[in-house]
Amino acid sequence: MYAIAVDVGGTFADLVLRDQQGHTFTAKVPSNYKDPLEMIIHGLSALAQELGFSVRELLSCTDKFIHGTTVGINALLQGQGAKTALITTAGFRDALELRRSQLSEPWDLRAVLPPVLVPRYLRLGLRERLDYRGVPLKALDKTQIPEIADFLRQEQVESVAVCLLFSWRNPAHEREFKELLQALLPQVFISLSSELSTQMGEYERTSTTVINARLSPVLSDYLLNLDSQLRDLGLRVPLSLARNNGGLTDMFQAKRCAVSTLFSGPAGGVKGGWALAHELDLPELVVADMGGTSFDVSLIRQGKMEVTPQAEVAGYPVQLPMLDIHTVGAGGGSIAWLDQGGMLRVGPHSAGAQPGPACYGLGGEEPTITDAALVLGLLDCSNFLGGRMNLDGKRALQAIETKIARPLGVSVPEAANAIYQVALSLMIDAVYLMTIKKGYDPRLFSLAAVGGALPLFATALAEGIGIRRVVIPAQAPVFCAQGLHYAPFQIEVSRGIYELLGEQPDFKCREAISELEEQADQELSRLGVASDRRCYLWSADLKYPDQHHEITLEFPCNVSDIRLWQRIGEAFHAVHQRRYGYSQPEKSLVLVNLRLLACEKENSFRTVAGQDTVGEAASSEICSVYRPGGLQEIRSYRWQDLKPGMGVEGPALIKRNFTTVFLEDNWRANLDQAGNLLLNLRKEGFNADGDGRSY
């Protein structure tokens, strides 16, 4: 039997198949926004052909099918989605437009804000009211609901977001409204804020609910079509969908909660980085993924993935836990351009897969990072995508000369090198933001360079940020799809408490813990996770009474421990002291939220020792690349010719299907027993402890 993971990106769709013995087979096909289902079938055909099967034979032998999708995020970025209305407590319908006072550019009062997702005429106030404790002050006015239904029907509204005041404390009014409205409008999708987030924050909850209402019908149609086509082709198992938090869910839940799949593709890359960190015993790891449209950075710290309780997507807050991923528009298809002042810029706009970079010969005329790499000699014209696509060097030269070189008064190779360096600086800034700006020393980290494009920049990026060890995994070109194989079924539930924390657990906390565990167990049972395969991770958001931001602490849930909450308080003061340089142990603490992460138990990992010796040299060829100062002849190796123990000294190129590694001066590459390429900086320097040893 086989397990298949599919990650659909902005430029390519990646597929990774694993058999029961752990062998992997991969496929990479160009993306097609007009018909994303067609490219998945195309990729499955490529896998089936490699195995000597038909697509029907392959799918009939598949017992797990995992999908990381960009349908939701693409619809949000492009302003698409179902026509949506918003129902709020009367008098609060403008919370969505008032937003927060904080601006992304605090000194620019003319900064453009993202469009309001629901126009004012579709934002309706409902006569009802709960107080801050969730106690009803005014019952739901049921006579208003037929009027609302008639208006929504007249406006041909497809989806409704419901976010009533203090429903995170008491969801009764939201549930009652949904039941009554659904009876009148059975074809309209209804999203309740209380089903998505039980945390305070009116604007954030409203934004999250509206995004979910806009995107869920779109994702639902896509998944139903995909499931139908795959079943017609022989698939017998239900689809599994990747979520923002690195776990999996089923199609039933994904159709109702599209907002939880916005980063399902990049989440696979973080999960893959987590697995790689365990396999290679690298507890501190920067996972950097450069695909066709973006450059994504995440961290593995102390062997754990970094999770943020909420994030901002395309300028809109999303109040759901998700992996902490920072993204910049620096992918292989990112376009190089000159601003009004004549300054060279790269991204964030991308040529995508169609028309793609100029060198694709599909009608693209804008110079991209891929065109620059081709002009510099870092890419092989005849071996792109494993030899299935020939690149047109003349078109790349022409695009760079017309758009960049001639206006700047430089040669084409100099312009291509400038594009390379600007793109590199964007990546260094992104890693800087995720490490140094957060107080982490990058010299203590290794770098996992993944995605089809990043190995061209890996050693320069590492050296630019102070990292001395780089890992390019065996499946680096399809790493997000590979990582999806490690994702477990996972459910995260939370409860807003917002009460002073006493030294002993009170009844409210005990009750919340019991209800959250029951809720998580019901969902895991529905997903088919056996009780002996479940694990639970509890955490709490706490703060001092006069603070705005919380600190999240993990804790072992043992409600019979009378000192549990005292221990949690002591841990909070210690973390606060370490993080901010002071603590106030004399103050009581506010317990803001309780959280439970329940999931399948993870698989154990076999630690792979990295080879760091130089054995017999691999065969190589001589090729010319442009470097500052002119053309330089360097050696070019084929990845498949390398064996553990063989060392490659930089400068050099290491080529394989779907990617190319550019090894800078003073770097050495070795292949480990698992097929990962390990790169180490050799020049003299200071390590993290400053003892002057060489690397």
Cβ atoms of 538 and 556 closer than 8 Å: yes
Q: How much of the chain is in helix, strand and coil states, percent to nearest 5?
A: 35, 30, 35
Question: Are β-strands 652-656 and 659-663 bridged in parallel, bridged antiparallel, or unpaired?
Answer: antiparallel
Residue in the block written with tokens 């593709």: 265
Lowest mean pLDDT among 28-37, 45-54, 181-190: 28-37
With 0-12 CB in 10 A as exposed, 13-18 as middle and 19+ as buried, what is 619? exposed
What's the mean pLDDT in 619-647? Answer: 86
Q: Is the peptide bond before 355 cis (omega within 30 degrees of 0)?
A: yes
| 3 state SS of 34 | coil
Backbone angles phi, psi at 31, to 5 degrees: -75, 155
Cβ atoms of 668 and 680 closer than 8 Å: yes
- Residues 661 and 547: their CA atoms lie apart, in Å, by 48
Q: What pLDDT shows up at residue 611?
A: 45
Q: What pLDDT shows up at residue 309?
A: 84
Q: What pLDDT shows up at residue 559?
A: 57
Kindly indicate the confidence band of residue 484, based on its pLDDT and cuts at 50, 70 and 90: very high
- Please name the residue ranges forming H helices in 19-94: 36-51, 55-60, 71-77
Q: What pLDDT shows up at residue 687?
A: 44
Whether the pLDDT of residue 188 is over 90: the answer is: yes
Question: Are β-strands 620-627 and 630-638 bridged in parallel, bridged antiparallel, or unpaired?
Answer: antiparallel
Kindly indicate the confidence band of residue 606, based on its pLDDT and cuts at 50, 70 and 90: low
**Cβ contacts of 22 within 8 Å, gap of 6 or more:** none
Amino acid code (one letter) for 24: T
| 3 state SS of 323 | strand
Dihedral sign for Cα atoms in the order 417, 418, 422, 423: negative
**Percent of the chain clearing pLDDT 90 (strictly above):** 61
- Please name the residue ranges forming H helices in 376-477: 393-400, 406-408, 412-434, 458-465
With 0-12 CB in 10 A as exposed, 13-18 as middle and 19+ as buried, what is 349? middle
Read off the tokens for 618.
């691999």
- pLDDT, one tens digit per residue, over 270-300 is 999 999 999 999 999 999 999 888 899 999 9
- Residues 42 and 72: their CA atoms lie apart, in Å, by 22
- Residues 204 and 185: their CA atoms lie apart, in Å, by 27
* Angstrom distances, CA of residue 575 to CA of 256, 336, 430: 37, 44, 26
- Residues 487 and 529: their CA atoms lie apart, in Å, by 13
Beta-carbon count within 10 A of 528 CB: 11
**Percent of the chain clearing pLDDT 70 (strictly above):** 93
CA geometry: angle 52, 43, 260, nearest 5 deg: 135
Whether the pLDDT of residue 609 is over 50: the answer is: no
Q: 437: which DSSP letter? A: G
Kindly indicate the confidence band of residue 198, based on its pLDDT and cuts at 50, 70 and 90: confident
- The closest alpha carbon to 482, from 491, 473, 469, belongs to 473
Q: What pLDDT shows up at residue 229?
A: 94
**Domain regions of the chain by residue span:** 1-68, 82-219, 263-488+606-695, 490-600
Q: What is the CATH number of domain 490-600?
A: 3.30.1490
Whether the pLDDT of residue 359 is over 70: the answer is: yes
Q: What pLDDT shows up at residue 694?
A: 31
Q: What pLDDT shows up at residue 200?
A: 86
User: Which run of H or of E encompasses 580?
Assistant: helix 564-580
**Cβ contacts of 394 within 8 Å, gap of 6 or more:** none
Residue count (the chain) = 695
Dihedral sign for Cα atoms in the order 528, 530, 531, 534: negative
Kindly indicate the confidence band of residue 208, based on its pLDDT and cuts at 50, 70 and 90: very high
* Angstrom distances, CA of residue 685 to CA of 8, 124, 695: 41, 64, 7
What's the mean pLDDT in 301-307? Answer: 91
Cβ atoms of 322 and 298 closer than 8 Å: no
Q: What pLDDT shows up at residue 409?
A: 95
Residue in the block written with tokens 């980290």: 445
Beta-carbon count within 10 A of 340 CB: 5
Dihedral sign for Cα atoms in the order 638, 644, 646, 648: positive
What's the mean pLDDT in 529-548? Answer: 90
- pLDDT, one tens digit per residue, over 655-670 is 988 889 999 999 999 9
Mark residue 84 as left, alpha or beta (left: phi above 0; alpha: psi -120 to 50; beta: remaining): beta
Backbone angles phi, psi at 448, to 5 degrees: -95, 110
Lowest mean pLDDT among 255-269, 480-494, 532-546, 599-613: 599-613
Global confidence as pTM? 0.87
What's the mean pLDDT in 175-187? Answer: 96
| 3 state SS of 565 | helix
Cβ atoms of 452 and 292 closer than 8 Å: yes
- Residues 172 and 2: their CA atoms lie apart, in Å, by 45
- The closest alpha carbon to 616, from 642, 643, 646, belongs to 646
CA geometry: angle 182, 184, 186, nearest 5 deg: 50
Lowest mean pLDDT among 37-46, 101-110, 357-366, 368-377: 101-110
Residue in the block written with tokens 């019991």: 514
Cβ atoms of 656 and 476 closer than 8 Å: no
Lowest mean pLDDT among 119-123, 297-301, 364-368, 506-510: 506-510
Q: What is the CATH number of domain 82-219?
A: 3.40.50
Amino acid code (one letter) for 635: R
Q: What is the CATH number of domain 1-68?
A: 3.30.420.40
Highest-scoring range by mean pLDDT, 32-41, 111-120, 612-621 = 111-120
Q: What pLDDT shows up at residue 21?
A: 85
User: Which run of H or of E encompasses 636?
Assistant: strand 630-638
Cβ atoms of 66 and 5 closer than 8 Å: yes
Highest-scoring range by mean pLDDT, 388-397, 424-433, 613-622, 645-654 = 424-433
- Residues 371 and 358: their CA atoms lie apart, in Å, by 7
Whether the pLDDT of residue 686 is over 50: the answer is: no
Read off the tokens for 359.
């060198």
Query: Average pLDDT of the chain?
Result: 88
| 3 state SS of 10 | coil
Cβ atoms of 322 and 263 closer than 8 Å: yes
Whether the pLDDT of residue 306 is over 80: the answer is: yes
User: Which run of H or of E encompasses 123?
Assistant: strand 123-126
CA geometry: angle 85, 90, 96, nearest 5 deg: 50
